Amino acid sequence: VREKEHADYSATHTDLSESIDAIDRAISVLKSREGDTPQSLLQVSEMTSLPKEAKATIESFLAMSSDDGLSAPSANAYEFQSGGVVGILEKLLHKFQDQKVALQKAEMNAKANYEMLAQNLKDNIQEDKKRSTDKTATKAQRLEDAAVAKADLATTEAGKAEDEKKLADTLTACNAKSMEFEKNQVVRSEEIKAIEQ
């Protein structure tokens, strides 16, 4: 999009520059050599960027000039008419120069806006990459923590099973000793009774 805008700007800028140059030359020629006025005006009137009202004025002047050539006008009348055309051309020159300045300002604004947008997009891409990297690192850390936790769980479960086996063995041994003690107590009480008799 920006390349197309710049191409349009370049084409319009070139057209305006050529028009300004042509009008400048026409004004110079009109001011320096009044005899060449019809040819210079004819060149200016053929410009594509010339407004319709300016073309109509130049064409009417050219028609008056050719009519005046037949009647041999006085020098003062001819100079007055050239002055009017020069005035029109100078107004046209100022108009084109204003258009060129406005075009250049618009191009600078469009370029600045494009560069700002490109920088914002670049910053967004960098921020998104950073977030993605951070999330990937966080995920990897969580997976590592989960693996460590699973290993700890397996170790704890194995320790628990071993402790439960020990407890069961200890309870069995304790019960066996308790029963044996009870039997021994019965035997002793019988022995004590037998001794006392």
Task: State yes or no: pLDDT of 13 exceeds 80.
Answer: yes
Torsion sign over Cα 132, 135, 140, 141: positive
pLDDT of 23: 86
- Percent of all residues in the chain with a pLDDT value above 90, rounded to a whole number: 47
The answer to whether the CB of 71 falls within 8 A of the CB of 26 is no
DSSP secondary structure code for residue 166 in this structure: H
The answer to whether the CB of 30 falls within 8 A of the CB of 89 is yes
Cβ atoms within 10 Å, residue 37: 20
* Least confident range of 50-64, 69-83, 89-103: 69-83
Q: Could you give the CA distance from residue 150 to residue 148 in angstroms, rounded to a whole number? A: 5
Tens-digit pLDDT profile for residues 33-59 = 554 444 556 666 677 667 777 777 777
Does pTM top 0.75 for this prediction? no
